Amino acid sequence: MSGTLAKLQRMADQIALNFTAIGKDNAVLATADHIAKFWDPRMKAAIFASDLSILSPIARSAVENLRAGHEPPPQTGATEFNAVDEVGHSDAG
Amino acid sequence: MGYEPQADFGTPESRSDESVSLTVDGREVTVPVGTSVMRAAREAGGDIPSLCATDSVKSFGSCRMCLVEIEGRRGTPASCTTPAEAGMVVRTQTPRLAKLRRGVMELYISDHPLDCLTCSANNICELQDTAAEVGLRDVRYGYEGANHFAKSPDLSNPYFLFAPDKCIVCSRCVRACDEVQGTLALAVDGRGFASKISAGQASDSFLSSECVSCGACVQTCPTSALMEKSVKQLGKPERSVVTTCAYCGVGCAFRAEMKGEQLVRMVPWKDGKANRGHSCVKGRFAWGYANHRDRITSPMIRENIDQPWREVSWDEAMRFAADRIAAIKAEHGPRALGGITSSRCTNEETFLVQKLVRAGFGTNNVDTCARVCHSPTGYGLSTTFGTSAGTQDFDSAEQTDVFLVIGANPTDAHPVFGSRIKKRLRQGAKMIVVDPRRIDLVKSPHIEAAHHLALQPGTNVAVLTALAHVVVTEGLADEDFVRTRCDWDEYQDWARFVADERHSPEFLETVTRVPAATLREAARLFATGGNGAIYYGLGVTEHSQGSSTVMAIANLAMATGNIGRPGVGVNPLRGQNNVQGACDMGSFPHELSGYRHISQGDSRKLFEDDWGVALDPEPGLRIPNMLDAAVDGSFKAIYIQGEDILQSDPDTHHVAAGLAAMDCVIVHDLFLNETANYAHVFLPGSSFLEKEGTFTNAERRIQPVRRVMEPANGPIGQGLEDWQVTQLLANAIGCDWNYTHASEILAEIARLTPTFAGVTWDRVIAGEQLQWPVTDAAPQGSPVMHVGGFVRGKGKFVVTEYVPTDEKTGPRFPLLLTTGRILSQYNVGAQTRRTANSTWHPEDVLEIHPTDAENRGLADGDMARLASRAGETTLRVKVTDRVAPGVVYTTFHHPDTQANVVTTDNSDWATNCPEYKVTAVQVTPSNGPSEWQESYAEQARRSRRIAAEPAE
């Protein structure tokens, strides 16, 4: 499990680092939004249960917020998905 | 009925909006301005005999067969070089013309073998047809004079032959090579009677020349001088079916020309707008894998992966798989199950696999190979433009003035589109290449890039930010565009960010290794050179900052006003034929088809009501996360359709460990691929020639895939298309699916997916060129996106901070490895390695700069050990200055090499797309395969054993 947890911690830090340029408060929201939208429940559970002190400050705040049940509204175009009958968005890889 | 070659109008179509009317043989004809008299006559349903004219190349006027009489004009002008004019009165059939044509034909035939009955072009020969049209009955000169009859054929190319005795030196092949393909490998050597077609230098054969075997010359040859060997062997086809190539994301339309269920040849379909009648060596010729002896034709199972395979019935295979899935689900819950959809399979098959996982397994653990290629495109373009599909159709390139090609190698990986880019460059458009390696678009015959930014791998964001710095600080931004189309405040934040001195080309030069002056020139050219279009590939996405790079690209396009009209745009070049479609079909673990997040209650309800099940509201695992979870023991079973993750995904050791940890690996493929070494159930698949459905190409064009032969995975009449196999599995685990044809699945997709609302099977197979969204508002689809406004409001500028990758060179691993593709092989090579394409590329080689090679005592052709912190392999080196000092390059087409043993588990911050393009490595001389290669070869051999007798 430790190998996977280390990966998750690294992913959370990487996400936070790439949002740093939008300012700390926004970066915390965007990181939390990102993890909420793209991580599977066991990944979330693993990082919630881990020692958050080793995360970067932005990642730590984001994970703490999520763990407390505060899931932010969409923070980027990539997390604003189509509504049920909407045509516009696509995130084709 | 029966076989008809596709109509040839003799000269290219004119796209003028203005038209002219003329009279041809008493019939009134109206054609666009610029249309030749020949084409006007043929469009009117008549014909003018011709030999050197064909509608894929410009008129040439050499054969003197197409002469006509025009009232008020002297002589008999060639109709191919005479433009139609208003009021013209043309006569194409008069006694005078007949005499002239017969005389010319007589000369041609005096030096042409009269073995028509045994000729491979018998009845598909334009010379024969033309002789018939002009009524040639006799050759007064006899056949005893000097002639070319004894010339021996060039059989060197594996797919086609050149028979000089059949050549009439019309030069159509030379012009096709020049104008359509742009390789310029052919020439007419000599003059007059001595004229002959020559490939490369005098000492070359077709195979040793620069010829890339695209087939354009063969397609255009009017006789059997250039002919597919398959036609020589099999004879004239008896019917043809329009279908879509299953190789790259260009999605070329082809006519599969058949005799019964035997494919005789694949010929590009001229009405397909993705390729407009052109092809490459893969789609045109490399289809023999469909009948390769390695095809597995029976389902197989085994208790564990140390055992040999046991061939069983479909029923037994499905029972075995269903029992294992049920047991795992009972013990570990649905989230221990998952699946991978294939970007090589049809939309309908992909849709069913994700439906099986979500509705049948009861989990959202479904992903697709886009994870490891263009997932950052999804993230990046969604963030900036609101939608991530490519913004243009391929025709758009015809109006581009400046191409910016970043991390893509179209002439190898998307060859048909590469040829269209080269064509535009020869017309005067400019090219900027951003790539660590000197690709062919930097310099090749008749084209040369204005700038090549040979950056250090891993510094894409730095280079793009520096380009933006120049655009903003030198006042080159299109602020009018930005004010009307984008969020102005966000633009200003972004402009302040990029204008910072630390983003200047001079400051970043030490990081990017791109000379500041070159970068500035490139930025000025892109911003001021007219229509600027950005094309990019996996050299952008497969980095730890892949998503950031995509956003930086979008920022640059918006800042320079290059969005929303033909000729501009941001265009991801998709690797596989149906990557776009696989994503549209809901293959990602967090979303349903049509890009609706799984957490949205109303979206879920739409599917729940249609499917009659409850869906898990939480996103599932991505491929790398599935493998991590497998190693941890929480992920136990996977159904993989048409995907070879062991070879294609990074960090092979980790992939192998993940697969080995699972209790039920179901591989559904044509061949026992590398992943199947770890499988418990093997389900034989059907090739693209054996099934019905649709593919969606990189332009969002939805095209038909047609069944022209029986699936090989069963006795005659019992073969199954891939969606039928998925349906068997679904029903074995308790679903109640009753699809009888792929069209019914397409109807379900259209019912549940707004972008596909107007798509029907009948429209697709009628040849309608539909690019989604196909809706009431856009019933014919949408070739160019974001016209007049972004689809979701304002374009968003996003600040992209350059964050260097963790993968750094050091004393142990001092070189950077980057990977790519080569023309003749495709992806993991499962298809192309089983064709004669291996003639050109029998093994992966490591490109290394002469200085780095010399420092290591390596000469061209030596074997070398390639090692990273993840693993090591050996392969042959090719010493070349195509790569810069400090950079090495290889391909990943061959499992014996498995370049991905060396690549690491680094990935894109937003999407987990692996960082294939940057790995710190060391290269040292070697005298044999690595220990890993030897043990892997042995393991692969053992795991592919099939028991001779059914086990008791």
Closest partner CB to B579 (pick from A34, A91, A93): A93
Most A CBs within 10 Å, among B460, B545, B625, B790, to test the A interface: B625
Tell me: do B285 and B352 sit in the same domain.
no
Give contacts of A37 with chain B, Cβ < 8 Å: 590, 597, 599, 619
What distance in Å separates the CA atoms of residue B417 and residue B536, rounded to the nearest whole number? Answer: 12
Contact at 8 Å (CB) between B815 and B852? yes
| Min Cα separation B801/chain A (Å) | 6
Three-state secondary structure call for residue B722: helix
The per-residue pLDDT for A2 is 66
Q: In the A/B pair of chains, how many CB contacts fall below 8 A?
A: 159
| Min Cα separation B860/chain A (Å) | 38
- Asked whether the predicted pLDDT for residue B660 surpasses 90, the reply is yes
CATH number at B696 reads 3.40.50.740
How do residues B461-517 score in pLDDT, each as one tens digit? Answer: 999 999 999 999 999 999 999 999 999 999 999 999 999 999 999 999 999 999 999
B373 and A3: CB-CB below 8 Å? no
Give contacts of B538 with chain A, Cβ < 8 Å: none
B399, B505, B526, B408: which is closest to B462 by C-alpha?
B505
Model confidence at A1, pLDDT cuts 50, 70, 90, reads: very low
B386 and A77: CB-CB below 8 Å? yes
Most A CBs within 10 Å, among B632, B654, B776, to test the A interface: B632
Tell me: do B865 and B929 sit in the same domain.
yes
Give contacts of B602 with chain A, Cβ < 8 Å: 83-84
Tell me: do B646 and B514 sit in the same domain.
no
Tell me: do B329 and B441 sit in the same domain.
no
Residues of chain B above pLDDT 70, percent: 99
Residues of chain B above pLDDT 90, percent: 87
Closest B-chain CA to A35:
B910
The per-residue pLDDT for B1 is 65
- Asked whether the predicted pLDDT for residue B901 surpasses 90, the reply is no
How do residues B297-332 score in pLDDT, each as one tens digit? Answer: 999 999 999 999 999 999 999 999 999 999 999 999
DSSP B598-634: TT-HHHHHHHHHHHTS----S----HHHHHHHHHHTS
Contact at 8 Å (CB) between B208 and B200? yes
Closest B-chain CA to A9:
B909
Helix B95-110 vs helix B126-134: angle between axes, to the nearest 10 degrees?
140
Closest partner CB to A78 (pick from B383, B620, B909): B383
Query: Could you report the predicted ipTM of this complex, rounded to two decimals?
Result: 0.95
B588 and A91: CB-CB below 8 Å? yes
What distance in Å separates the CA atoms of residue B922 and residue B882, rounded to the nearest whole number? Answer: 19
What distance in Å separates the CA atoms of residue B666 and residue B709, rounded to the nearest whole number? Answer: 26
- Residue B69 tokens, joined: 């009489």
B550 residue type, one letter? V
The per-residue pLDDT for A90 is 64
CA dist B907 to A14, B256, B836, B868, B925, Å?
10, 40, 35, 16, 30
What distance in Å separates the CA atoms of residue B73 and residue B86, rounded to the nearest whole number? Answer: 14
Three-state secondary structure call for residue B34: coil
Count Cβ atoms below 10 Å from residue B114 Cβ, excluding itself. 9
Tell me: do B540 and B514 sit in the same domain.
yes
B628 and A22: CB-CB below 8 Å? no
CA dist B170 to B110, B174, B211, Å?
15, 9, 19
Tell me: do B819 and B905 sit in the same domain.
yes
Q: What are the extents of the domains in chain A?
A: 2-69
Tell me: do B273 and B326 sit in the same domain.
no
A18 and B625: CB-CB below 8 Å? no
- Residue A32 tokens, joined: 């939390």
Contact at 8 Å (CB) between B128 and B108? no
How do residues B82-103 score in pLDDT, each as one tens digit? Answer: 999 999 999 999 999 999 999 9
Pick from B572, B606, B637: which residue ends a domain?
Answer: B572
The two counts, helices (H) then strands (E), for chain B are 29, 36
Which structural domain range is residue B635 located in?
300-371+579-746
Tell me: do B934 and B847 sit in the same domain.
yes
Give contacts of A89 with chain B, Cβ < 8 Å: 382, 386-387, 595, 791-792
Pick from B256, B291, B326: which residue ends a domain?
Answer: B291
- Which of A78-82, B417-421, B438-442, B896-900 shows the lowest per-residue confidence on average (mean pLDDT)? B896-900
CATH number at B23 reads 3.10.20.740
Question: Measured on CA atoms in the order B263, B267, B273, B275, is the torsion positive or negative?
Answer: positive
- Asked whether the predicted pLDDT for residue B769 surpasses 90, the reply is no
Closest partner CB to B388 (pick from A85, A86, A91): A91
CA dist B632 to B10, B74, B256, B372, B627, Å?
65, 87, 48, 22, 9
The per-residue pLDDT for B937 is 87
| Min Cα separation B595/chain A (Å) | 6
B525, B423, B427, B531: which is closest to B471 by C-alpha?
B525
Whether residue B529 lies inside any domain: the answer is: yes
Pick from B291, B313, B342: which residue ends a domain?
Answer: B291
What distance in Å separates the CA atoms of residue B869 and residue B812, rounded to the nearest whole number? Answer: 9
What distance in Å separates the CA atoms of residue B196 and residue B186, rounded to the nearest whole number? Answer: 10
Contact at 8 Å (CB) between B908 and B544? yes
HEC assignment per residue over B419-436: HHHHHHHHCCCEEEEECC
Model confidence at B936, pLDDT cuts 50, 70, 90, reads: confident
Tell me: do B202 and B342 sit in the same domain.
no
Q: How many domains does chain B have?
A: 5
DSSP state of B151: P
How do residues B672-727 score in pLDDT, each as one tens digit? Answer: 999 999 999 999 999 999 999 999 999 999 999 999 999 999 888 899 999 999 99
Q: Does A39 touch chain B (CB under 8 A)?
A: yes
Tell me: do B32 and B74 sit in the same domain.
yes
Spacing of C-alpha B13 from chain mean position: 25
Whether residue B246 lies inside any domain: the answer is: yes
What distance in Å separates the CA atoms of residue B569 and residue B554, rounded to the nearest whole number? Answer: 9
Mean pLDDT of chain A: 92
Whether residue B413 lies inside any domain: the answer is: yes
Contact at 8 Å (CB) between B429 and B403? yes
